[in-house]
């Protein structure tokens, strides 16, 4: 049997296993040297990797794996967001824009699947070590999502011409939305404590300001590759922002489509009220990385300015001052109410 193809296969799979174990050991060694904080969660540590905070060592391991394995093609589109900035909404809008000629609105996948099931979250594959989809077997273009910071993006994403859409939101609503989301799991520390941590930059994928500034500066340097959107602008002027989004993605609406009211149909399908009330988004759970959460947790209020119901005037003032200092000279500002 020596030298037979079967033996060669056994030897190579053992070598693969050895290599995987070596890699995993070396990742764990690196992780054991990273700064940690007992933060936000009642149990477990957060880890800081490449300047940003992750909710577990496993999450960092996943990011390292993604940096090594994920590739994007020039035609693919990557949605990036800081958590709670409008990911679910943008996933729905971008999926609908990209696939508008494939599906009828009466039998649209968004009526029967969560937006998170339709647009893959890269960290989900990474954390569970599920092989990324083999791009050669998939139609082009594909739509992916990640929360990772600009400076941590896998090199093939930077090297390719794939387009990146970044959605951000005013930090006060982001903090409140994150806090309410985690509160649903009954593992979160009290609001005041979580607020302190957020202000120190210690939140999942934080610091918030470094995350937004990374993509803001990159979007100024390469506007043809990175579209920087704000949740408040999409709320205030959905029509204009959805048209802008479609053009950037390479799927502009024709005047005929506009005349047929297609943009309005997409806006209506993806609206907070419509999605939240669908059975598929009200029941059942979904995996986000290594944890499972109710699908309904992604639909809370969907408003601009809900922070006013949760933060004191002092807290609001404190975040404003931090942002003023951190974003100074960048040209990036946030509106935190519906009026501006």
Can you say whether residue 161 is alpha, beta or left, with left for phi > 0 and alpha for psi between -120 and 50 degrees? alpha
172 is an interface residue for ligand PAP by CB under 6 A: no
At residue 252's C-alpha, the angle toward residues 248 and 254, to 5°, is 165
Torsions phi, psi of 181, nearest 5?
-60, -50
Contacts to ligand PAP from residues 244-273, by CB under 6 A: 270-272
Residue 290 CB, shortest distance to ligand PAP, in Å, is 14
Which residues are catalytic, by number? 147
Bin 89: left if φ > 0, else alpha if -120 < ψ < 50, else beta: alpha
Q: From CA 168, how far away is CA 327, in angstroms rounded?
A: 14
* 42, two tokens: 């009642």
Q: How far is the CB of 273 from ligand PAP (least distance, A)?
A: 8
Measured CA to CA in angstroms, residue 264 lies from 76, 183, 259 at distances of: 25, 34, 10
Q: Confirm or reject binding of residue 78 to ligand PAP (CB under 6 A).
A: no
Q: With binding defined as CB under 6 A, does residue 86 bind ligand PAP?
A: yes
Q: Rule CB under 6 A: is residue 170 a binding residue for ligand PAP? A: no
Among 300, 310, 318, 326, contact with ligand PAP (rule: CB under 6 A):
300
Q: What is the closest distance, in whole angstroms, from the C-beta atom of residue 76 to ligand PAP in the complex?
A: 19
CB of 257 to ligand PAP, least distance (A): 21
Give me the least distance between CB of 202 and ligand PAP, in Å please.
Answer: 17
Is 88 a residue that touches ligand PAP (CB under 6 A)?
yes
CB-wise, 56 or 88, nearer to ligand PAP?
88
Q: Estimate to the nearest angstrom the gap between the alpha carbon of 207 and the chain centroid.
A: 15
Contact between 251 and 165 under an 8 Å Cβ cutoff? The reply is no
Q: How far is the CB of 274 from ligand PAP (least distance, A)?
A: 8
Classify residue 227 by its DSSP letter. Answer: E
85 lies in the binding site for ligand PAP (CB under 6 A): yes
Name the one range near ligand PAP by CB under 6 A: 182-190, 222-230, 240-248, 299-307. 299-307
Contact 140, 73 (CB under 8 A): yes
Span from 66-74, 258-266, 297-305, 317-325 in contact with ligand PAP (CB under 6 A): 297-305
- Please tell me the distance from the alpha carbon of residue 309 to that of residue 193, in angstroms, as a whole number: 17
- Does position 301 interact with ligand PAP (CB under 6 A)? The reply is yes
Cβ-in-10-Å burial (0-12, 13-18, 19+) of 256 comes to: exposed
CA distance 295 to 288: 10
Please pick, from the candidates 81, 96, 203, 241, the single residue that binds ligand PAP as defined by CB under 6 A.
81
| Binding-residue total with ligand PAP (CB under 6 A) | 21
96 binds ligand PAP (CB under 6 A): no
Is residue 214 part of the contact set for ligand PAP (CB under 6 A)?
no
The β-bridge relationship of strands 143-146 and 52-54 is unpaired
Chain contacts with ligand PAP (rule: CB under 6 A): 81, 83-89, 173, 177, 180, 270-272, 275, 298-302, 306
């Amino acid at each position: 049997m020596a030298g037979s193809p079967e033996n060669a296969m056994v030897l190579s799979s053992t070598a693969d296993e050895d290599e995987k174990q070596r890699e995993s050991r070396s990742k764990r060694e690196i992780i054991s040297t990273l700064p940690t904080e007992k933060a936000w969660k009642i149990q477990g540590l957060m880890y800081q990797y490449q300047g940003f905070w992750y909710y577990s060592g496993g999450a960092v391991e996943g990011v390292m794996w993604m940096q090594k394995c994920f590739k994007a093609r020039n035609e693919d589109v990557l949605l990036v967001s800081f958590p709670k900035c409008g990911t679910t909404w943008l996933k729905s809008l971008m999926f609908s824009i990209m696939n508008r000629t494939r599906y009828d609105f009466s039998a649209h996948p968004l009526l029967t699947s969560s937006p998170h099931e339709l647009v893959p979250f890269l960290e989900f594959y990474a954390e569970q070590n599920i092989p990324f989809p083999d791009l050669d077997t998939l139609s082009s273009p594909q739509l992916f999502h990640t929360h990772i910071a600009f400076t941590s993006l896998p090199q093939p994403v930077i090297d390719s011409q794939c387009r990146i859409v970044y959605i951000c939101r005013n930090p006060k609503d982001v903090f409140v939305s994150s806090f309410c989301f985690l509160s649903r799991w009954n593992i979160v520390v009290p609001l005041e404590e979580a607020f302190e941590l957020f202000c120190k930059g210690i939140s999942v994928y934080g610091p918030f300001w470094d995350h937004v500034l990374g993509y803001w500066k990159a979007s100024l340097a390469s506007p043809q590759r990175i579209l920087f959107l704000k949740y408040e602008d999409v709320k205030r002027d959905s029509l204009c922002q959805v048209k802008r989004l479609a053009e950037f993605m390479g799927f502009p609406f024709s005047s005929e489509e506009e005349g047929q009211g297609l943009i309005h149909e997409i806006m209506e399908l993806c609206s907070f009220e419509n999605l939240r009330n669908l059975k598929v988004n009200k029941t059942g759970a979904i995996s986000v990385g290594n944890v499972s959460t109710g699908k309904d947790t992604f639909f809370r209020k969907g408003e601009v300015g809900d922070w006013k119901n949760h933060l004191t005037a002092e807290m609001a003032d404190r975040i404003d001052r931090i942002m003023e200092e951190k974003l100074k000279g960048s040209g990036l500002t946030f509106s935190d109410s519906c009026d501006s």
